[in-house]
């Protein structure tokens, strides 16, 4: 599966768990860390956990390896590492504080619908 398909699948998994403000950044031209960042948030720690687990379940079903998941215990900022796609699932307060979209403002935003 190509990285762009992986980020779309992850975005759909986030949407299925009612994540808010789902944003995908194409990091190819601005960072060596990953090809894509997927960023979203939720209003409670429980919902942050559900979104992160939803991403993992969607990847498992698609046969995509999940390298690691970090931050699930506190569920304020959970990082789901899919190799060249990194998903950042924030609690709303942490998303506002860290503001990755501004930090990586040179990255192009992907446009896609969450329906499919």
Q: Which two tokens stand for residue 112?
A: 């896609």
Give per-residue pLDDT as tens, 54-98: 999 999 999 999 999 999 999 999 999 999 999 999 999 999 999
What does the pLDDT read at residue 113? 61
Find the largest Cα–Cα distance for the chain: 34
Average pLDDT over residues 3-19: 97
Residue 26 main-chain phi, psi, to 5 deg: -85, 110
Give per-residue pLDDT as tens, 89-110: 999 999 999 999 888 988 899 8
Q: Give the span between the Cα atoms of 27 and 25, in whole angstroms.
A: 6
- Which CATH number is associated with domain 3-109? 3.30.460.10
Q: How far is CA 46 from each of CA 1, 20, 27, 98, 106, rounded to the nearest angstrom?
A: 30, 14, 29, 20, 32
Break the chain into its structural domains and give their ranges: 3-109
Identify whether the C-beta of residue 40 lies closer than 8 Å to the C-beta of residue 51.
yes
Identify whether the C-beta of residue 60 lies closer than 8 Å to the C-beta of residue 109.
no
């Amino acid at each position: 599966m190509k990285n762009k398909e992986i980020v779309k699948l992850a975005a759909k998994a986030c949407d299925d768990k009612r994540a808010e403000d789902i944003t995908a950044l194409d990091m190819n031209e601005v960072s060596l860390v990953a090809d894509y960042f997927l960023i979203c948030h939720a209003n409670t720690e429980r919902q942050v956990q559900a979104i992160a687990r939803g991403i993992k379940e969607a990847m498992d079903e698609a046969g995509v390896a999940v390298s690691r998941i970090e931050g699930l215990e506190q569920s304020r900022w959970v990082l789901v590492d899919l190799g060249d796609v990194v998903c950042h699932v924030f609690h709303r307060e942490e998303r506002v504080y860290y503001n990755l979209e501004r930090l990586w403002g040179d990255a192009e935003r992907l446009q896609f619908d969450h329906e499919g």
